[in-house]
Structure 1
Amino acid sequence: MMHKTGFKAAMCLATLLFAMEASAAGGDKSGPLINKAVIQQEAGKTVYWVLPGPRQLSKEVFGTPDNPKRTLKPILAEVNKPPIRELLQKLPVLVAAPEPARKTNEAETEYTVFSQPTPFSDKARPLPPDQSGFFRTTLLDRVAEDQPGKPGNTPDEVQLESWFHDPAGNKYRLEFDHVVQPPFPGYETQGGVFIDGWLHGTTGTGSPLMPKEYTRAAWWGVVDLYINDEKVDTKVAHLMTTEVVRKRDYSLALDEEMPLESSERHIPDQEHHTHLIVMPIKPTPQGPVFEPVNTAFELSNGKNQPFIHMMFEEDSIVEWQLGSQ
């Protein structure tokens, strides 16, 4: 059974992802290096374009109808800044799964799915090898905790080279601008570049609609988006290299199913994969603004997909240093 109060199903862009206050690159880059990671995937290997769809709900993360967890109201109570409060009300899945969009079983004793379309779905299309994608990113982690002040106040740095296609064959390229720290209650991102820890699920950092997953490296930042060699957008993006959370049928695992055994993984011999999401969040001097990503890929409803979620399934960790000076 689904409760419908206050929710609009049309495209459901309000169920998408992370948003940050806009800021200049900022931050003193001269601090000592704590951690470093270099990750890449060569062209011609397995890449998926993730489509919007519903998401199964983990009992461990979201509780039961009699004892719900990760609801929006108590999280909003921790927010003092009106722009961030408004953002979380419009994009609640940044931190929660609001109860009105949770379906239950017939007996109303368990949650079944979050019915609004999100990027954390089981629906995805594999891309042909000659139109898959490539990325290489370098993450420089100089602080162990988020820094006070504006989200741009961080000495962490990121370098990125990337290109990929959508299922219609359009070619995308991202240019990285600067690191940001998500200004949400409970988020702990190590200054916007995160190396060696846990994200999503019950951690409080990242959408709880993703399972809790061991993360080798992750960043949050602002990127310029090019499609077919034309600059079309500037948005907030998030990349993370994690243990494998996609099963053999490409469904997204629940927290209760993690960690996946080798035989359960989409590619059994692959121990990690990389998620890259471009979010429907436009940074402005006044703060984050909800705005669909200007993709070129048309969905079955005749509208263009409002976010980008790429899965690079055969990535390589080129370099991974902890505690370097």
Structure 2
Amino acid sequence: MRTTIGLILTLLVLVSPSGVALAQGGSPANTSVKIVDPVGRTVGNATFTPTPNGAVEVQVAVAGFDPGPGGDHRLAITDVGRCESKNLQSAGDEVAVLPPIQFYPNGSATYQRTTERFTLDTLHDPSGSTLIIYAGTNPDSDRIGCAVIFAAESGTPPTGATEIYKQSPWWPYLSAHINDQSPPDIVGGPIELQLTQESGVATWVFPGPRQLDPTIFGTVDDPKATEAPPVILGAPMKIRTALPDGTFVTNVPTPFSNMFAVTQGAMNSVHMAVVDATATDGATTKDKIDFVATFEAPGGKGVYRIEVQKPAAHGWFIPTAGGVATNFIQHGITKWGTQLMPTEFDYVGFWGLGDIYLNDQKIDQNRLVHVMLTEFVRKNPYDLVFDAEVNPKARHLHVIVPPFTPKGQSSPVKTGFMLPNGMEQPFFHVMFPGIQVTAGARSTK
């Protein structure tokens, strides 16, 4: 295997789809807050202490949960400083996920971790912020503990933590389709395609900033594409930093950076067979996916495999066209998918649910997976281009496993790949340039 590391920052931090902005100045002093349960009973306290290198030390001590919820529990920061409702949904949506907190069988726990996923400055905005403890490790589990880090200012609207997808401008359209039990067929279809790469190059993308194309995102004088959810679709102003020329760069790391590693070997392979039969989103689909991609990790740190057989019949924040779509334009100015990717022609793309393996051991499952064969959108050394630089004469396959659930909730992928800062990379974005395609109309007889 040959590995080339390109433009890796000395500090890589994890991406959150809700986009915690990085602090530009000093952080507030220590912040200590009480933790309450869903009925308002005080069950502990949490302390947030800035460190000299810009990180935050998080300390938690809780007791008195009955019955005792032993084992690992999800711990997250949310984007509204409230602990009002009985189910604690008033605290809003996740913006950062911390390593889990481990409870003893008696319902108590102590916790101390240092994190670079946020600063106190980034949590101290008008909507406030909250620390949430969950009943389990899944973001859909009940919220059992809540601590207001910074209170929401008066007038901040309530938010539903499980409904981040309703922020999407696509939601009205999608809501009219997701319960359709008989979505229409594509005209002239079905179309069956087979894509293969037997061996060769795979390019792994690391977390990093994305310079924003002024065609899509505007300038300081005329900002555009500020839609939420951040990174999932657009780039609200809070995740941007202005550059001297009046354009922007993200101030959060993203899966769409210029930082990469190239591996080459027999394990970098793709076998993909899809059928595009259903035209629109719906409750059911006739689309088919049979997908297996393997690729070597940078530095020889193992071999990954991603398998997908289940198409996503409908999307929650963008359309999926039944799971498989062919011959369409996506991303960028279309707003079909994240605008951080350039506008690009897709020969074929799919959205499905898949499982992740490392060295033949399953490490994550039922993950949202997006795969697309597109025009070439990189330039030397491997910079992600603006719209005016897209290369229509070449193409490559993108395999993306994002750090959020199909409904847009924060959910880092269990990649097992540790970054230089000691944190786990929370997504996959891997590209294969050696794809061969066989396609044609599928007989309906």
TM range (shorter): 0.7 to 0.9
Are the counterparts in 2 of residues 145 and 191 from structure 1 also a CA contact under 8 Å? yes
Are the counterparts in 2 of residues 292 and 306 from structure 1 also a CA contact under 8 Å? yes
Find out whether 1:272 has 2:410 as its counterpart.
Answer: no
Distance 2:309 2:443 in 1: 25
Find out whether 1:63 has 2:244 as its counterpart.
Answer: no
Find out whether 1:206 has 2:337 as its counterpart.
Answer: yes
- The amino acid of 1:68's aligned partner reads P
Higher strand share: 2
Matched residue, 2:236: 98
> How many Å apart are 1:281 and its aligned residue?
2.8
Matched residue, 1:295: 415
More displaced stretch, 2-11 vs 222-231: 2-11
Are the counterparts in 1 of residues 307 and 354 from structure 2 also a CA contact under 8 Å? yes
- The amino acid of 2:240's aligned partner reads R
- The amino acid of 1:101's aligned partner reads I
Distance 1:273 1:294 in 2: 25
Runs of 5+ consecutive residues of structure 1 not aligned to the other structure: 13-17, 76-87, 263-270
Are the counterparts in 2 of residues 102 and 115 from structure 1 also a CA contact under 8 Å? yes
Are the counterparts in 2 of residues 55 and 118 from structure 1 also a CA contact under 8 Å? yes
- The amino acid of 2:376's aligned partner reads V
Deviations 1:73-118 (A, max 9, x none): xx6xxxxxxxxxxxx3xxx211111111212123xx6223112111
Matched residue, 2:362: 231
> How many Å apart are 1:210 and its aligned residue?
0.3
Find out whether 1:143 has 2:278 as its counterpart.
Answer: yes
Aligned with 1:215: secondary structure?
A: strand
Given the superposition, is the C-alpha separation of residues 318 and 11 from structure 1 closer, same or farther in structure 2, using an over 3 Å criterion? Answer: farther
> How many Å apart are 1:204 and its aligned residue?
1.2
Aligned with 2:417: secondary structure?
A: coil
Higher helix share: 1
Whose radius of gyration is greater, 1 or 2? 2
Find out whether 1:315 has 2:438 as its counterpart.
Answer: no
Given the superposition, is the C-alpha separation of residues 231 and 261 from structure 1 closer, same or farther in structure 2, using an over 3 Å criterion? Answer: closer
Larger relative contact order, structure 1 or 2 (CA cutoff 8 Å, min sep 6)? 1
- The amino acid of 1:275's aligned partner reads H
Matched residue, 1:126: 262
Aligned with 1:94: secondary structure?
A: coil
Find out whether 1:252 has 2:357 as its counterpart.
Answer: no
Matched residue, 2:375: 243
Please point out which of 231, 238, 251 is paired with 1:115: 251
Aligned with 1:100: secondary structure?
A: helix
Taking only the aligned residue pairs, the percentage that are identical comes to 33
Are the counterparts in 2 of residues 38 and 320 from structure 1 also a CA contact under 8 Å? no
Please point out which of 32, 35, 38 is paired with 2:191: 35
Moved over 3 A (4+): 2-12, 18-21, 26-33
> How many Å apart are 1:52 and its aligned residue?
0.7
Aligned with 1:202: secondary structure?
A: helix
> How many Å apart are 1:30 and its aligned residue?
12
Given the superposition, is the C-alpha separation of residues 100 and 58 from structure 1 closer, same or farther in structure 2, using an over 3 Å criterion? Answer: same
Given the superposition, is the C-alpha separation of residues 100 and 155 from structure 1 closer, same or farther in structure 2, using an over 3 Å criterion? Answer: same
The alignment's TM-score, normalised by the length of structure 1, stands at: 0.75
Are the counterparts in 2 of residues 4 and 100 from structure 1 also a CA contact under 8 Å? no
Distance 1:28 1:135 in 2: 32
More displaced stretch, 237-246 vs 111-120: 111-120
Aligned with 1:48: secondary structure?
A: strand
The alignment's TM-score, normalised by the length of structure 2, stands at: 0.56
Aligned with 1:118: secondary structure?
A: coil
Given the superposition, is the C-alpha separation of residues 301 and 225 from structure 1 closer, same or farther in structure 2, using an over 3 Å criterion? Answer: same
Are the counterparts in 2 of residues 177 and 224 from structure 1 also a CA contact under 8 Å? no
- The amino acid of 2:380's aligned partner reads R
Are the counterparts in 2 of residues 3 and 103 from structure 1 also a CA contact under 8 Å? no
Given the superposition, is the C-alpha separation of residues 128 and 182 from structure 1 closer, same or farther in structure 2, using an over 3 Å criterion? Answer: same
Aligned with 2:431: secondary structure?
A: strand
Find out whether 1:182 has 2:318 as its counterpart.
Answer: no
Distance 1:182 1:143 in 2: 14
Are the counterparts in 2 of residues 176 and 224 from structure 1 also a CA contact under 8 Å? yes
Are the counterparts in 1 of residues 355 and 362 from structure 2 also a CA contact under 8 Å? yes
Deviations 1:21-78 (A, max 9, x none): 9xxxx978996843222111111x1111111111111111011222211112xx6xxx
Please point out which of 305, 313, 327 is paired with 1:173: 305
Superposed CA RMSD = 3.1
